[in-house]
């Protein structure tokens, strides 16, 4: 959690920059608020309370803010809207309203009763047609243009993004065009095959989604998160773990609380980086609360995976993890009571890139009545290879060969290129005042206050990445030599 | 529109409306779940207990704080039942396609279904083959048809449907409709398919106001022999 203050500073800067960069619009003066997903305009049906972001990295489908997803039928000027016109100011104000499950008679499996609207109606900044641009939500191909529709098949996500009611004469794309995220498609209007509708963009998402099969999926939270990005509200990217390894802390953007997030607690002070999360384990077959560290690696290879355990909060003898690495997922178990500090889960093969993670779940099997705690703090990856650490991760050089690596993530917020991943130089190099054995067990990557044990987790699924802890000694020696050379080079420069 | 019982802000997440102002710190992106645990009122479907310590002062009466959830499930390529595909009839007469189009569709790593009506196939304006599937765009008189297959599966293990939703999944296909564009969705050979029909005059054209036309399209689908495209 040490990086939190850093993040606050960054967030403030980003917000200020965003305010300067965005075109001034009246709606921007309001704080963006939205009704929860599944909360529909009263009388318009029963919604689905679904916080899932089905397309996590999409671009908001309208070029500029403000923008107002809400109901056309139950809004002012709509047939059920209680009077007024479509340009009523109430339609052009926050908060947003979900209308994915708004009353319709058509099959939508994800809506209560199996019926719904299957997309989201969005008003642009002003009640003017042919002014505001609809833009590509992700890189992809335009595969269909109908009388009042444009289909974009996303390259990365495999999601179909569908845009309705753009004015055909304003379209600047054709079927077969490759488009990039944010590229203009056409202007939002009221086109509806000769029978005008209100000025809005109907936008929906279609995926082959298990367990439903091919379906329209709720759009609302994907719109919320992409709109936050459009507004410049800080959403730090998850950083890449450098080839030299690093620490992914619960205080950074690569860590996510999931499931019933309200069950997690935060403790400031103890733990790697100055904070940790914990919850109680339970015996249910399904998880209630869980958490995930996203692991996006710069280089493929074998890495030792360790988790940081603080004894006061790690009480389960069978903490349950799932490691997804290089295309496979395996369950791991760890006796958190066997020792504090960095605890090894094993050595595993990782691919370069993302879609890899370590997750911890509360369904350990420990009886709920026993109040057995599990802790989620930090994960450390250490390459098994002899690759020396990169020359410059944006961190100041270590102060002294005899000093344990310093957590640079909090020293200069403006210079940290990898929020949330603290480049970890491993243990103090051989030759310092600490014995090699202490190096193995005592390197905490910064807080310096925790011990470490090297007992490995139990693995219930075999992996081809079995580790060899003894090889670390050689690695440490090379790391130390590398650091020495680097410092000598720095001095020479 | 009237006010809801809960309100959400960009970084604060969703909470019941309350008198207190949210803190500046929270508005700058600190996870509210972390900063303000909400132990007693959390919507814990399994009645998960409240941890006894670690609560933020003054938060015990607040309602749930929720934030966007990111999918836990995997995204993967569906395993295709090629035996079922081989046995499927009718087969499409490959001679109705140009060599170029046939070659293109043969690169789809999944069974390709297309309308068997030659007159319709002549109205294809674009074939697309991509990593996640394929599609055909057709523009017959007065309407547009979109036929697509999706091999990529997004797995959402946390999703639960109600009885009505579950019942829909038991049907061989589902028909939905928005702004009069009709969508028919179904799974076959382990992968997903969709047919869309959009009419130039959506309010007056029975191809869009009724289900019969899209159901006939569904029944007419033929399998293109894509030998060479199978893995």
Does B42 score more than 90 pLDDT? Answer: no
Q: Of A156-165, A251-260, B118-127, B214-223, give the lowest mean pLDDT range.
A: A251-260
Buried b (16+ CB within 10 A) or exposed e, B186-216: bbbbbbbbbbbbbbbebeebebbeebebbee
In angstroms, rounded to a whole number, what is the distance separating the alpha carbons of residues A345 and A461? 13
Question: Which has the higher per-residue pLDDT, A300 or A406?
Answer: A300
| Residue B23, number of CB atoms within 10 A of its CB | 13
Sole residue written with tokens 């009571």: A337
Rounded to a whole number of angstroms, the distance from the CA of B57 to the nearest CA of chain A is 13
Contact B168 A165 (CB under 8 A): no
By Cβ distance, the residue of A141, A214, A355 closest to B193 is: A214
Does A431 score more than 50 pLDDT? Answer: no
Query: For residues A9 and A232, is the Cβ–Cβ distance under 8 A?
Result: no
Tens of pLDDT, residues A152-171: 999 999 999 999 999 999 99
- pLDDT at residue A173, rounded to an integer: 98
Sole residue written with tokens 């959400």: B8
Element (H, E) at A481: helix A471-492
B109 touches chain A (CB under 8 A): no
Task: Assign A230 to helix, strand or coil.
Answer: helix
Contact B51 A143 (CB under 8 A): no
Mean pLDDT of B165-190: 92
- Every domain of chain B and the residues it spans: 2-35, 74-224
- pLDDT at residue A290, rounded to an integer: 87
- pLDDT at residue A260, rounded to an integer: 66
By Cβ distance, the residue of A32, A257, A289 closest to B48 is: A289
Question: Which has the higher per-residue pLDDT, B114 or A446?
Answer: B114
Element (H, E) at B128: strand B124-130
Share the mean pLDDT of chain A. Answer: 75
Tens of pLDDT, residues A31-90: 888 888 898 999 999 999 888 889 988 999 999 999 999 999 999 999 898 788 999 999
Task: Assign B2 to helix, strand or coil.
Answer: coil
Mean pLDDT of A406-415: 28
Contact B203 A70 (CB under 8 A): no
**Confidence class for position A135, pLDDT limits 50, 70, 90:** very high
In angstroms, rounded to a whole number, what is the distance separating the alpha carbons of residues B149 and B130? 10
B92 touches chain A (CB under 8 A): no
- A485 Cβ contact list (under 8 Å, min separation 6): none
In angstroms, rounded to a whole number, what is the distance separating the alpha carbons of residues A230 and A124? 14
**Confidence class for position A208, pLDDT limits 50, 70, 90:** very high
Residue A362 zone, left/alpha/beta (φ > 0; ψ -120 to 50; rest)? alpha
Query: For residues A61 and A161, is the Cβ–Cβ distance under 8 A?
Result: yes
Sole residue written with tokens 């196939």: B121
Q: Of A295-304, A477-486, B222-231, give the lowest mean pLDDT range.
A: A477-486
Instruction: State what percent of residues in chain B have pLDDT above 90.
Output: 54
- pLDDT at residue A237, rounded to an integer: 64
In angstroms, rounded to a whole number, what is the distance separating the alpha carbons of residues A194 and A110? 31
Sole residue written with tokens 């300067």: A20
**Confidence class for position B15, pLDDT limits 50, 70, 90:** low
- A437 Cβ contact list (under 8 Å, min separation 6): none
Question: Which has the higher per-residue pLDDT, A431 or A250?
Answer: A250
Share the mean pLDDT of chain B. Answer: 75
Question: Which has the higher per-residue pLDDT, A287 or A150?
Answer: A150
Most A CBs within 10 A among B69, B141, B155, hence the mutation to make, goes to B69
Mean pLDDT of B205-226: 94
- pLDDT at residue A57, rounded to an integer: 86
Q: Comparing C-alpha atoms, which of A117, A278, A216, A286 is closest to residue B158?
A: A286
Mean pLDDT of B174-185: 94
Contact A279 B132 (CB under 8 A): no
Q: Give Rg (Cα) of chain A.
A: 26
- pLDDT at residue A88, rounded to an integer: 95
**Confidence class for position A477, pLDDT limits 50, 70, 90:** very low
Please provide the DSSP assignment of A415-458 as one string: T-SSTTEEE---SPPTTSSS-HHHHHHH--TT------B-PPPE
Token pair recorded at residue B36: 């303000």
DSSP state letter for A369: G
Question: Which has the higher per-residue pLDDT, A487 or A339?
Answer: A339
Mean pLDDT of A19-35: 56
Token pair recorded at residue A3: 């990086």
């Amino acid at each position: 959690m040490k990086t939190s203050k850093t993040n606050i500073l960054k967030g403030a800067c980003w917000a200020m920059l965003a305010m300067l960069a965005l075109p001034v619009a009246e709606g921007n003066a309001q704080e963006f608020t939205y009704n929860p997903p599944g909360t529909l305009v009263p009388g318009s049906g029963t919604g689905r309370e679904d916080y899932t972001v089905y397309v996590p990295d999409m671009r908001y489908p309208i070029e500029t803010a403000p923008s107002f997803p809400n109901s056309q039928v139950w809004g002012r000027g709509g047939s059920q809207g209680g009077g007024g016109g479509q340009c009523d100011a109430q339609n052009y104000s926050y908060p947003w309203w979900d209308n994915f499950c708004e009353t319709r008679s058509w099959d939508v499996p994800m809506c209560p009763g199996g019926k719904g609207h299957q997309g989201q109606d969005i008003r642009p900044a002003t009640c003017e047609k042919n002014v505001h641009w609809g833009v590509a939500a992700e890189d992809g191909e335009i595969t269909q243009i109908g009388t009042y529709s444009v289909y974009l098949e996303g390259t990365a996500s495999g999601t179909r993004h569908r845009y309705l009611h753009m004015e055909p004469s304003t379209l600047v794309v054709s079927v077969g065009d490759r488009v990039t995220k944010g590229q203009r498609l056409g202007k939002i209007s009221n086109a509806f095959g000769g029978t005008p509708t209100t000025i809005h963009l109907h936008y929906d998402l279609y995926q082959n989604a298990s367990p439903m099969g091919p379906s329209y999926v709720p759009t609302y939270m994907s719109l919320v998160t992409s709109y936050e990005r459009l507004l410049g509200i800080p959403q730090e990217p998850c950083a890449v773990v450098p080839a030299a390894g690093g620490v992914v802390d619960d205080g950074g953007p690569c860590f996510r609380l999931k499931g019933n997030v309200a069950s997690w607690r935060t403790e400031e002070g103890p733990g790697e980086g100055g904070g940790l999360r914990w919850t109680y384990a339970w015996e249910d077959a399904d998880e209630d609360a869980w958490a995930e560290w996203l692991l996006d690696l710069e280089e493929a290879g074998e890495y030792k995976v360790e988790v940081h355990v603080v004894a006061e909060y790690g009480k389960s003898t069978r903490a349950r993890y799932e490691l997804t690495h290089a295309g496979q997922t395996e369950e791991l178990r760890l006796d958190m009571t066997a020792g504090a500090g960095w605890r090894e889960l094993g050595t595993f093969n990782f691919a370069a890139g993302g879609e890899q993670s370590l997750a911890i779940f509360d369904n350990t099997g420990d009886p709920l009545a026993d109040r057995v705690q599990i802790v989620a703090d930090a994960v450390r990856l250490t390459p098994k290879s002899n690759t020396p650490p990169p020359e410059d991760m944006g961190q100041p050089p270590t102060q002294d060969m005899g000093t344990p690596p310093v957590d640079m993530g909090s020293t200069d917020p403006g210079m940290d290129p990898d929020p949330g991943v603290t480049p970890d130089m491993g243990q103090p190099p051989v030759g310092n005042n600490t014995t090699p054995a202490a190096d193995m067990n005592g390197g905490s990557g910064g807080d310096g206050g925790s011990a470490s044990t090297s007992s490995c987790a139990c693995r219930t699924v075999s992996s081809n990445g079995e580790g060899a802890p003894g090889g670390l000694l050689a690695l440490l020696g090379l790391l130390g030599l590398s650091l020495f050379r680097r410092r000598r080079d720095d001095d020479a420069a | 529109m009237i006010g809801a019982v809960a309100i959400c802000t960009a970084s604060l997440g969703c909470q019941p409306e309350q008198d207190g102002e949210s803190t500046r710190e929270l508005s700058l992106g600190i996870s509210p779940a972390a900063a303000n645990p909400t132990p007693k009122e959390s919507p814990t479907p399994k009645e998960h207990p409240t941890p006894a310590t670690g609560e933020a002062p003054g938060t015990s009466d607040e309602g749930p704080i929720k934030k966007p959830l990111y999918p836990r499930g995997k995204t993967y390529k569906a395993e295709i039942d090629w035996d079922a595909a081989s046995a499927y009839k009718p087969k499409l007469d490959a001679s109705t396609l140009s060599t170029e189009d046939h070659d293109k569709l043969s690169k789809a790593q999944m069974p390709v279904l297309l309308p068997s009506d030659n007159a319709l196939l002549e109205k294809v304006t674009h074939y697309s083959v991509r990593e996640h599937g394929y599609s055909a765009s057709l523009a017959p008189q007065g309407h547009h048809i979109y036929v697509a297959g999706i091999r990529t599966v997004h797995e959402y293990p946390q999703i639960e449907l109600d009885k009505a939703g579950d019942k829909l999944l038991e049907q061989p296909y589902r028909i939905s409709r928005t702004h009069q564009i009709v969508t028919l969705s179904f799974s076959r050979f382990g992968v997903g398919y969709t047919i869309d029909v959009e009419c130039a005059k959506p309010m007056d054209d029975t191809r869009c106001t009724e289900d019969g036309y899209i159901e006939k399209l569904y029944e007419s689908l033929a399998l293109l022999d894509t030998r060479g495209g199978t893995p």
